[in-house]
Amino acid sequence: MNGPCLAAVSLADIGAAQARLGPIAVRSPLLPCQAGEQRAGVFLKLENLQSIGSFKIRPVGNAVLARPASALDAGLYTLSSGNSALAVAWIAKRLGLAATAVIAPGAPQVKIAGLRALGAQIVEIPFESWWNAVGARGLEGQQGTYIDAARDPAALAGNGTIGIEILEDLPDVEAIFAPFGGGALACGIACAVRALKPGVKVIACELETAQPFSESLRAGRMVSVPSRPGFVSGVGFHSLLPEIWPLARELIDGTVTVSLAEVAAAIAGLAERNKVIAEGAGAIAVAAALSGRHPYGRVCAVVSGGNLDSLLLATILTEGIHG
């Protein structure tokens, strides 16, 4: 059963998240993107430099720390095979709690290895069961407090801290590009932007091979789409989370879709020219910002994560990915 629709969080909520996250999340650098002659005026918000290699430390960290300690005694769990799970495992270890990642088949091995290194228990279930549990906001019978990095208002506020930092470090930014998976990253950033500088646009970035938000906007209602996200994990689901759709439709100013080849080219360019390692989802916003398929001049792309398998990186750098 779906829960109530997510509402925008206030600037006070985001400020409280900043205070909670101060000891655990770094203020990530914002640097010009070295893209040769491809595109000028693109800046990078390097969330791949967080302790777990992903922005997820912000929504997960705030969602955990906003709860009373007594609510965490049974440990933490999440329905994720990626960066949300890594964030839950990292903060659980810091707090001396047990952590469980409930994953679906096909999880990236680099992230599985990270979970094991952090001491998390890993439970694999079929994808349909996993997706149903995501919709139900928890897995029946699973011990621990469920941490939802997409639909918890505290998670949304944690993401909003990225928006505040971008506006402070790049006050003349025209648009902020963010990958769109569950939607909480783009929506959280947009909450901060609407409160502080509503003229700045927030653009959701999706794959051509899986773009439920873009298609839903075109249809004027939530729709499901075929999904084949390829080497990119963390985005590219076949449908939206119903609780986020109304907020995303209200807050997000537009979308740009990119191909898998463009994402691979962005990963290669970030590594070779910027000395930045980005995973597939982390490079989507960069690919979109560099695509030229938007009217904005001075833009910021959120490099949301850098947990990329080294063999995949080697393939991208030596052979490329086409199609």
CATH number of 31's domain: 3.40.50.1100
Chosen domain end from 94, 120, 146: 146
Answer yes or no: do 125 and 250 share one domain.
Answer: no
Asked, for residue 6, whether it belongs to a domain, the answer is no
Same domain for 122 and 156, yes or no, is no
Whole-number pLDDT of residue 51: 92
Domain membership flag for residue 5: no
Domain assignment of residue 1, yes or no = no
Give the C-alpha separation, 203 to 231, whole Å: 22
Whether residue 163 sits in one domain with residue 34? yes
CB atoms within 10 A of CB 255: 20
β-strand pairing of 42-46 with 30-32: antiparallel
**Same domain assignment for residues 95 and 164:** no
Q: How far apart are CA 212 and CA 120, in angstroms?
A: 31
The answer on 159 and 286 residing in a single domain is yes
Q: Which of 146, 179, 199 delimits the end of a domain?
A: 146
**Residue 253 CA to chain centroid, in angstroms?**
18
Q: Is residue 246 located within the same domain as residue 286?
A: yes
The answer to whether residues 176 and 276 belong to one domain is yes
Question: For residue 200, is it within any domain?
Answer: yes
Do 51 and 62 fall into the same domain?
A: no
Same domain flag for 294 and 190: yes
Q: What is the pLDDT along the chain (323 residues), one digit of tens a residue?
A: 467 789 999 999 999 999 999 999 999 999 999 987 777 899 999 999 999 999 999 999 999 999 999 999 999 999 987 899 999 999 999 999 999 999 988 888 888 999 999 999 999 999 899 989 988 999 999 999 999 999 999 999 999 999 999 999 999 999 999 999 989 999 999 999 999 999 999 999 999 998 999 999 999 999 998 888 788 877 777 889 999 999 999 999 999 999 999 999 999 999 999 999 999 999 999 999 999 999 999 999 999 999 999 999 999 999 887 76
Question: Which residues lie across from 177 on neighbouring strands?
Answer: 203, 301
Structure tokens at 63: 């969602």
Q: Which domain holds residue 115?
A: 58-146
Total domain count, the chain: 2
Longest CA–CA span in the chain (Å) reads 55
- Give the whole-angstrom CA distance, residue 25 versus residue 153: 18
What is the C-alpha separation between 63 and 174, in angstroms, rounded? 30
- The pLDDT of residue 2 is 65
Q: What value, to the nearest 5°, has the Cα angle with vertex 177 and ends 79 and 133? A: 15
Overall pTM > 0.85: yes
